[in-house]
Amino acid sequence: MTRYIVRRLLQFIPSMILIAFVGFVIMELPPGDYVSNYIRAQALAGNQDMVAQEAALRQQFGLDQPFLIRFANWTINLIRGDFGISLATRMPVSEIIGSKLGATVAVSLCVFILSWAIGIALGVYSATHQYSKTDNFLTTISFIGLGLPDFLIALAFLVLAWQLTGQVLTGLQSPEFIGKPFSIPLLLDFLKHLWIPVTAVVVTGMAWVMRVMRGNLLNELGKNYVTALRAKGVPERTVIWKHAFRNALHPLIGALSQTLAFLVNGFVITSVVLDLPTIQVTYLDATQAQDLFLAGTILTLIGFLVLLGTLVSDLLLAWLDPRIRFS
């Protein structure tokens, strides 16, 4: 087993280099680079001296080197654990990603746990009460949830919260708490901000989980073994949760590979709209500003998480399903 995991992990390396390469190429393709964008902004603001610094700046960032050399240098440093610097803030990429990871994971985890927990619970309920009024209601809700872009919900919540409380709940913390050590008021303040993005994304995420859960569970509940279990006198609760539910988990676990990546890069637009200090926004800004190393690292990280997610979901499926384990 360990050998299998190690082998799979080793297989990641070429894939990740390839992902990083493609990521770099994509950022390399548009005309201009970070420096020309930066210079333009400076010129438009009137900083004429900065315009004269263009070549010097490019040299400072190593952008004057050919693409392949730049990529090779970056890859070698990456393997050494040095992700390079962000061109925009001149800070080490690792530091930036590190500083974002906490908030990102906090939001994503809440979103993930809630949307899966609620989605699964409602999906199971819906499937076990098929065609009931509640089922119809939940089905309708889930369809609407699937159709609503989460950023619209987030915006609506934001404005609603302002109209009701007079507070603007952008970001994840009130400014007075940013960068402060942990305390109870800080946690409360955090939670006060957290609900908007979490609810907005959960509404749509949950809908998907619920649809999948309901569909699969219905499918499973129609299978012979369920009738056989009932005929055996197994209590309904056990039939559903121990047997049918576990069988119905397959596609959800299969989706884990994307889910892990979603944790760091889902709900981009919601993050932008709500100004969340998450890695999503960093990635978007970095892509648009052609902040090469920052965007490249995040893309590679996401690719890694997708690969990792695939591995995890494969392992989980094998653990769950003897048919896979023994084949």
Contact between 229 and other proteins per CB under 8 A:
yes
Contact between 147 and other proteins per CB under 8 A:
yes
Task: State whether residue 85 is helix, strand or coil.
Answer: strand
Contact between 320 and other proteins per CB under 8 A:
yes
Q: Which is nearer to other proteins, 114 or 320 (CB)?
A: 320
Q: Which is nearer to other proteins, 50 or 186 (CB)?
A: 50
| Interacting positions 160-219 with other proteins (CB under 8 A) | 162, 166-168, 170-171, 173, 175-176, 178-179, 218-219
Q: Which is nearer to other proteins, 66 or 147 (CB)?
A: 147
Instruction: Return d(Cα 242, Cα 279) in angstroms, integer.
Output: 38
Binding footprint of other proteins, residue count (CB under 8 A): 116
Q: Which of 119, 123, 205, 277 binds other proteins (CB under 8 A)?
A: 277
Of 256, 260, 263, 268, the C-alpha closest to 314 is 256
Contact between 282 and other proteins per CB under 8 A:
yes
Instruction: Return d(Cα 80, Cα 170) in angstroms, integer.
Output: 37
Q: Which of 66, 81, 181, 233 binds other proteins (CB under 8 A)?
A: 233
Instruction: Return d(Cα 286, Cα 98) in angstroms, integer.
Output: 16
Of 146, 137, 248, 263, the C-alpha closest to 206 is 146
Contact between 45 and other proteins per CB under 8 A:
yes
Q: Which of 73, 77, 89, 183 binds other proteins (CB under 8 A)?
A: 89
Give the position of tokens 């915006």. 155
Q: Which is nearer to other proteins, 118 or 148 (CB)?
A: 148
Q: Which helix (H) or strand (E) holds 105?
A: helix 93-128
Q: Are residues 286 and 86 in contact, defined by beta-carbon separation less than 8 angstroms?
A: yes
Burial of 323 (0-12, 13-18, 19+ CB in 10 A): exposed
Contact between 18 and other proteins per CB under 8 A:
yes
